[in-house]
Amino acid sequence: MQKKWWHGKVAYQIYPKSFYDTNGDGIGDLRGIIEKLDYLKDLGVDIVWISPCYCSPLADQGYDISDYYKIDPRFGTMEDMDELIKEAKKRDMYIVLDLVVNHCSDEHEWFRKALADPEGPYGKYFYIEECKDGTLPCNWRSYFGGPVWEQIPGTDKYYLHVFHKKQPDLNWENPEVRREIYKMINWWLDKGIAGFRIDAIINIKKALPFHDYPSDRDDGLSPIHLMLQEAEGVLDFLHEMADHTFKPHNAFSVGEVFNEKPEELPEFIGDDGCFSTMFDFNETIFGSSPRGWYDSTPITPDDYKRCCFESQRKVEDVGFLSNIIENHDEPRGVSRYIPEGDCNDYSKKMLGTISFMLKGLPFLYQGQEIGMENITFQSIDEVDDVSTLDEYQVALKAGLTPKEALKAVNRLSRDNARTPFQWSAEKNAGFTSGTPWLRVNPNYTEINAAGETARENSVLNYYKKLTALRKDPAYADTIVYGRLIPFLEDRHNLMAFFRKGENQTLLVLANYQSEPQHVTLETPCRKILLNNYEDAGIKDKEIVLKGYQALVLEM
Ligand code: TEU
Ligand code: CA
């Protein structure tokens, strides 16, 4: 594997709407990000991925773009963006934007023109089909519920949207569409951003002509992944995109790739892959049910371990994954991956240790570093996210009572991760002086950045140790490139692995339970590099790990 400039870095995702509001309108903004750059630098962050901040009606919080070349006034101005890029560079930091090109907004100029003249050139920018007797071209179910086809008012024509109806899919089969997209990417890269996170990208290739797949629910619709399994040729588009944009700019790209075909992995993230890296979602998709969120199976520590190791094995000689415990589409990792009742500073630090010590590029999601947890919505009216609202309806239709349905969606709601960042114990967690667009988690009085900074043994200060260890010249090479070899893999509630470097071996031990656990080492350890407890409990080769204790040892 070729070494790349970004391999040893630490990345951080910002969801701008919920990060920091500087003008009191209740919505986070670019100036808020500029103000907090030093906070991120101090945490040890190098690469900052910012979820969409382009002009958008915010039907899907910015993942519905109406102008790729403009900043939404709610987030700021292009001058703010230029300043952000400049201020980041000053600090040796890299700005990565979100590339949403499977679809745009129905308020984008292209789509307006397509509606005005479906037969004209812009009609071919989208998938528009005539349905004479109202029979839809296929029975695919949109990710956010209902059929993927929406009628164009006053006509017998329908357009395709695999996400929300305000997110019409762009027709990648049209070379003109691809040219426009590459032009836009290059415009941003020329501006000085370091690269892109690439949204929902597997969906750009459709299995054509449109046809039905077997339905898995009473609605008669089929899940998109059946179509994706059959679609051939997404990589032709992706290589073309990389050759015209990322590669000439030596840009960083991280793909949001689901449902890829295993044999295609090298083409995605191998040395000549179309992306630098892609996210590991193996843990996030575990336990999902075709019936919906309400039917999903919670993950256990042993499942979690299996998911991580499976991904590591898959990419071992191929490339570099990006590791997360959460993002803006998922509940908080500490609420999901730590068994109920056990979520505390020890277990939070343990999860962080695993995420940072696996091979790959660690991505922190805003608030993860201070131990932010799920919020419990008291009523569905408090929820904003389109996906959660749909899953709530799915649960009701399946026969759950409103109370049960709310409980089911609370567990997985994307809004768990979208509540405002908790900066301090002041009003609205110090996020805004106005009214926050989404409810602040009431636990902000205990969990907030100011308190975490002040408290020596906080989760935040532990994350700083993790980023520092990753960059410590004495260990960086092993942590970044060392082979990952599981240790005592079948031991219940223990997640342990070696990282074997050229002349060095590290051992990561995580006791994934509240009861202590005894481990015998193969060789005595030379040095304790990290410990989420005060004392280690090591006697020669014998270790008694305390509840949720995590250790990084040099062997
Ligand atoms: O997500 C793509 C995706 O397929 C899922 O994460 C999906 O949104 C989720 O399972 C629904 O609950 C990306 C973005 O990360 C997400 O925020 C957007 O909503 C989506 O694309 C559409 O742009
Ligand atoms: Ca604002």
**Could you report the per-residue pLDDT of 52-69, keeping only the tens digit for each?**
999 999 999 999 999 999
Q: To test the ligand 1 pocket, which listed residue (281, 286, 329) has its Cβ within 8 A of the most ligand atoms?
A: 329
User: How high is the pLDDT of residue 449?
Assistant: 98
pLDDT tens-digit series, residues 150-209: 999 999 999 999 999 999 999 999 999 999 999 999 999 999 999 999 999 999 999 999
Tokens standing for residue 105? 């907004």
Please indicate whether residue 60 is annotated as part of the active site.
no
For residue 224, the ligand closest to its alpha carbon is 1
User: How high is the pLDDT of residue 219?
Assistant: 94
Summary mean pLDDT of the chain = 97
Identify any residues that bridge with 14 across adjacent strands, giving them in sequence order.
50
User: How high is the pLDDT of residue 144?
Assistant: 97
| CA separation for the pair 506, 487 (Å, rounded) | 11
pLDDT tens-digit series, residues 215-251: 999 999 999 999 999 999 999 999 999 999 999 999 9
| CA separation for the pair 122, 129 (Å, rounded) | 14
One-letter identity of residue 352: G
| CA separation for the pair 124, 144 (Å, rounded) | 24
Of the CA atoms within 13 Å of residue 242, those in its CB half-sphere come to 25
Q: How, if at all, do strands 128-130 and 222-223 pair?
A: unpaired
Q: To test the ligand 1 pocket, which listed residue (17, 98, 99, 143) has its Cβ within 8 A of the most ligand atoms?
A: 143
Residue 329 beta carbon below 6 angstroms from any ligand 1 atom: yes
* C-alpha 76 to ligand 2 mean position (Å): 8
* C-alpha 441 to ligand 1 mean position (Å): 23
Confidence of residue 428 (pLDDT cuts 50, 70, 90): very high
Instruction: Please identify which of the residues 199, 267, 391, 415 carries the catalytic annotation.
Output: 199
Examine residue 209 and say whether the peptide bond preceding it is cis (omega within 30 degrees of 0). yes
Q: What is the strand order of the sheet 550-554 is part of?
A: 483-486, 494-500, 505-511, 550-554, 527-531
Residue 413 beta carbon below 6 angstroms from any ligand 1 atom: no
pLDDT tens-digit series, residues 467-519: 999 999 999 999 999 999 999 999 999 999 999 999 999 999 999 999 999 99
Phi–psi pair at 278, nearest 5 degrees: -145, 160
One-letter identity of residue 306: R
* C-alpha 329 to ligand 1 mean position (Å): 6
User: How high is the pLDDT of residue 537?
Assistant: 85
CA distances from 515 to 78, 129, 268, 342, 512 (A): 53, 60, 41, 11, 9
User: How high is the pLDDT of residue 9?
Assistant: 98
Residue 173 beta carbon below 6 angstroms from any ligand 1 atom: no
* C-alpha 35 to ligand 2 mean position (Å): 13
Q: Does the structure show a pLDDT above 90 at 291?
A: yes
- 361: Cβ–Cβ under 8 A, 6 or more apart, which residues? 6, 7, 9, 11, 254, 277, 320, 321, 322, 323
One-letter identity of residue 233: G
| Closest to 530 in 3D by CA, of 450, 445, 467 | 467
Mean pLDDT within 359-380: 97
* C-alpha 200 to ligand 1 mean position (Å): 6
* C-alpha 550 to ligand 1 mean position (Å): 32
Residue 200 beta carbon below 6 angstroms from any ligand 1 atom: yes
Q: Return the CA Rg of the chain.
A: 23
The residue whose two tokens read 């951003």 is 193
DSSP state, residue 345: H
| Closest to 77 in 3D by CA, of 32, 31, 145 | 31
Residue 284 beta carbon below 6 angstroms from any ligand 1 atom: no
User: How high is the pLDDT of residue 1?
Assistant: 84
CA distances from 270 to 236, 261, 314, 341, 488 (A): 15, 14, 12, 41, 30
Where would I find the H helices in 20-77?
Answer: 30-35, 37-43
Torsion over CA: 74, 78, 80, 81 (sign): positive
For residue 22, the ligand closest to its alpha carbon is 2
- 291: Cβ–Cβ under 8 A, 6 or more apart, which residues? 216, 217, 394, 398
Residue 387 beta carbon below 6 angstroms from any ligand 1 atom: yes
Residue 100 beta carbon below 6 angstroms from any ligand 1 atom: yes
Percent of the chain with pLDDT over 70: 100
Tokens standing for residue 518? 């005894």
DSSP state, residue 253: E
| CA separation for the pair 72, 51 (Å, rounded) | 12
Q: To test the ligand 1 pocket, which listed residue (13, 63, 202) has its Cβ within 8 A of the most ligand atoms?
A: 63
- 359: Cβ–Cβ under 8 A, 6 or more apart, which residues? 312, 320, 321, 480, 481, 482, 483, 484, 499
pLDDT tens-digit series, residues 385-425: 999 999 999 999 999 999 999 999 999 999 999 999 999 99
| Closest to 43 in 3D by CA, of 476, 511, 463 | 463
| Closest to 291 in 3D by CA, of 434, 201, 399, 383 | 399
Q: Does the structure show a pLDDT above 90 at 378?
A: yes
Instruction: Please identify which of the residues 64, 106, 169, 256 carries the catalytic annotation.
Output: 256
User: How high is the pLDDT of residue 134?
Assistant: 84
> Which residue's CA is the nearest one to ligand 1's atom 4?
200
Contact yes or no for 321/279 (Cβ under 8 A): yes
Mean pLDDT within 119-143: 96
Residue 390 beta carbon below 6 angstroms from any ligand 1 atom: no
Least confident stretch, 8-17, 171-180, 228-237, 530-539: 530-539
* C-alpha 360 to ligand 1 mean position (Å): 22
Contact yes or no for 550/531 (Cβ under 8 A): yes
CA distances from 76 to 21, 461, 481 (A): 11, 31, 39
Q: Which atom of ligand 1 is nearest to the CA of 391?
A: 12
> Which residue's CA is the nearest one to ligand 1's atom 11?
387
User: How high is the pLDDT of residue 250?
Assistant: 96
Q: Does the structure show a pLDDT above 90 at 274?
A: yes
Tokens standing for residue 13? 């995702």
Please indicate whether residue 373 is annotated as part of the active site.
no
For residue 30, the ligand closest to its alpha carbon is 2
| Helical packing angle, 345-357 and 459-471, nearest 10° | 20
> Which residue's CA is the nearest one to ligand 1's atom 2?
200
Q: Which atom of ligand 1 is nearest to the CA of 388?
A: 12
Q: Which atom of ligand 1 is nearest to the CA of 328?
A: 17
* C-alpha 469 to ligand 1 mean position (Å): 33
| CA separation for the pair 554, 475 (Å, rounded) | 9
**Helix, strand, coil % over all residues of the chain, rounded to 5:** 35, 15, 45
User: How high is the pLDDT of residue 204?
Assistant: 98
